[in-house]
Amino acid sequence: MKIVVTGGLGFIGSHTVVELQNEGFEVIAIDNLSNSSIEVLDGIERITGKKPLFEHIDLREKAAVQDFFKKNNDIAGVIHFAASKAVGESVENPLLYYENNLNSLVYILQELTNLPTANLIFSSSCTVYGQAEKMPITEDATIQPAMSPYGNTKQIGEEIIFDVAQVTNLNSVLLRYFNPIGAHPSAEIGELPLGVPQNLVPFITQTAFGLRKELAVFGNDYPTNDGTCIRDYIHVVDLAKAHVIALQRLLQKQNQEKVEIFNLGTGTGSSVLEVITAFEKVSGRKVPYKVVPRRSGDVITAYANTDKANNVLGWKAQFTLEDALGSAWKWEQKVRS
């Protein structure tokens, strides 16, 4: 079974390629290398013993997408990760986000729905919920107006998939990730943020390693136990495994609706200070930090109700926050060695 993974050399994409290969799938990774490196292919091969096929394609180029699907019309499914994903950058450069995240999806769908079967797993995000009223967040929680162009591209992407599925052979699963962190236990692949990390955990590991002077904690005056924001941090390998299960659901035509939605989280919320404390415990390293003003666009609290993924997908996160932080630290040390 040939599976296409767009953004296949990226953080979540590469971990999903590993899990697909572990399940015996033939994988074609597509990536434009704008936020990943070709060496990731070697890391994947060191883990699974098999280098995935690789196509260096920018999915914004419609002709390149058409050409790829013409040559690969026996694809069983597509897992679509390729997108720009920095919230702050999306505010500064919305057109980059609308062109990249939406055109790529449209071009893929135009070709995919011309094939005999059209199965798509879509990388969505808990960002679509904004600040949900009720915790833990269920899949039927209200979709709030997006707080960034990045979040808007995820909301619009979901709507495009719904509309296309109504009138074509498309079957799709939308996976709404909470906060993916960590690295493969082998430390052969992991998160490779370019420049100054935007996300909490890579900033912590780089600070612990001495690459950053100290962590800035964006506000401790929120209405939470310790005043810092709460998130649901999920190990990237747990997340990757969920993609394979969701794909198999479509391949075996077990989906109950043409488009299904699942939250992917641990179901547990952790504050920024709790993450720092947990990291210091697993790494034995201090993380110097200073509290600074709040970051605009941050929601106060977001953690998942995982009942649907547990009961319908038969998937449950296995790794703990400490496991994930320990794997992130092991990766940081490896990649700097």
Nearest-Å Rg of the Cα atoms of the chain is: 19
Q: Does 128 bind ligand WQD (CB under 6 A)?
A: no
List 271's β-bridge partners, or say none: 230
Tell which one of 165, 170, 208, 217 touches ligand WQD (CB under 6 A): 217
Residue 80 is a binding residue for ligand WQD (CB under 6 A)? no
Largest CA distance in the chain: 56
CA distances to 180, 231, 299 from 143, in Å: 21, 18, 14
Minimum distance of ligand WQD from residue 97's CB (angstroms): 12
Give the DSSP letter of residue 237.
H
Residue from 14, 35, 127, 153 touching ligand WQD (CB under 6 A): that is 127
Between 269 and 308, how does the x/- string for binding to ligand WQD read (CB under 6 A)? ---x----------------------x--x----------
Minimum distance between the CB of residue 234 and ligand WQD, rounded to whole angstroms? 10
Give the contact letters, 47-76, x = binds to ligand WQD (CB under 6 A), - = no: ------------------------------
**Contact flags string 160-179 toward ligand WQD, x per CB under 6 A:** -------------------x
Give me the catalytic one of 150, 222, 233, 303. Answer: 150
Q: SS3 breakdown of the chain: % helix, strand, coil, rounded to 5?
A: 40, 20, 40
Identify each DSSP E strand in the chain by its residue range. 2-6, 26-31, 53-56, 75-80, 118-125, 170-177, 179-181, 215-218, 230-231, 233-235, 259-264, 270-271, 289-292
Q: Is residue 77 a contact partner of residue 121, using CB atoms and an 8 Å limit?
A: yes
125 binds ligand WQD per the rule CB under 6 A: yes
Minimum distance from residue 252 beta carbon to ligand WQD (Å)? 28
Q: Counting contacts by CB under 6 A, is residue 143 touching ligand WQD?
A: no
* Smallest distance from ligand WQD to CB 196, Å: 9
Q: State in angstroms the smallest separation of the CB of 192 from ligand WQD.
A: 15
Question: Where do we find the tokens 């490196």?
Answer: 37
97 is catalytic: no
In this structure, are residues 76 and 54 in contact, taking their beta carbons and an 8 Å threshold? no
Using rule CB under 6 A, residue 224 touches ligand WQD: no
Size of the site for ligand WQD (CB under 6 A): 18
Q: How far, in Å, CA of 309 to CA of 64, rounded? A: 35
Return phi, psi of residue 158, to 5°. -65, -40
| Least gap, CB of 286 to ligand WQD (angstroms) | 16
Cα 288 to Cα 210, 214, 270, 275, 324: the distances in Å are: 10, 5, 19, 13, 20
Active site residues: 150
Binding-site ranges for ligand WQD (CB under 6 A): 85, 87, 125, 127, 179, 198-200, 203, 215-218, 229, 231, 272, 295, 298
